[in-house]
Amino acid sequence: MKIACFFSGQGAQYTGMGEELYHHFPKFKEIIHQANHWLPETYESLVFQPTDKLNDTAYTQPLIYTMSVAAYALLQEAGIKADIVAGLSLGEYAALTASGTLPFEQGLPLVMARGKIMSQGIPQGVGKMVAVLNTPKEVIQEVCDLASSEGVVVPANFNTEKQVVIGGDTSGVTQAVQLLKDRGYKKVLPLKVSGPFHTPLLEPASHLFAKSLDQVTFQPLQLPIVSNVTGDITTDEKQLPHLLTQQMYQAVQWEKTMETCFKTGVTHVIEVGPGKVLSQFVRQTNREIKVLQVENLASFEKTIEELQASQLKETHYVGK
């Protein structure tokens, strides 16, 4: 049995995320209370009751990061250890904490700085992101190139073979969507995000964020982590500041990230944090991988039960 832990990205947040785990597990509550020392308002007030701030990037990012780190801590407490980790966009920071290179007390202030810089980097309404389904990548690249005369538009997330997110200026993205529809590719879904993340429009913001990264001391990696930017395993923590700066304005290579993990012999993927989007991506990419989640009490208990059963089968087989 070989385990990969994948950590949720922005957009997975919802009111009440982690609330059951908070009330059932002292370890989870301990990390939430630790986070409250840095958060502008308590996690409980921002997540356990409806508030528009939950969808404000400056708040969303540290809240998802905190919930994901606390959920992973429950796995560790149960004796479950990942063999390799990765996270989609924002989720890469929780993966870095799980890998041992980014302590929570440094990670949370860093993610807070990231969220604030990204929310201020592009004025509200200037950019747009759209998921394009069931369309060849070369067609998507072609229409982005053609539509760039109207404004910046590029592939921003290569999520799976059948889903690519494009982003950029509203005018450029709108033109690209029209060109796709003219070619018969009509499955496009606008995303509810506050800016065109992972596009060149965020490059100026990345320079500001680089200053925050300079304040962080990354520790030696205890687990291999797969980079969003390259889709390859990163083993040298000295590469991280450069990669994380690039991650803000370059495309996320999530499909390649998953494939890199699978090539190491991964048998189980645990999606850690809110939502099930990454689980869907895994199932669309490799149906042989067992997919589990740690999102709430039921999913955590099921994950522990499944892993214990798999470990027992493995031990029994070896015993023969």
**Residues that are catalytic:** 89, 198
Q: What are the CB-based long-range contacts (under 8 Å, 24+) for 306-314?
A: 306/268, 307/1, 307/3, 307/80, 307/268, 310/1, 310/267, 310/268, 311/1, 314/1
**8 A C-beta contact, residue 223 and residue 84:** yes
- Which phi and psi (to 5°) does residue 87 adopt? -145, 145
**8 A C-beta contact, residue 196 and residue 122:** yes
Could you give the count of Cα atoms lying within 13 Å of 211 in the half-sphere of its Cβ? 6
- DSSP per-residue letters across 155-199: EEEEEETTEEEEEEEHHHHHHHHHHHHHTT---EEE---SS-TTS
- Which phi and psi (to 5°) does residue 72 adopt? -65, -35
Axis-axis angle for helices 240-247, 203-213 (nearest 10): 150
Distance, in Å, from the CA atom of 89 to the CA atom of 209, rounded to the nearest integer, reads 15
Residue 57 burial (C-beta neighbours within 10 Å; 0-12, 13-18, 19+): buried
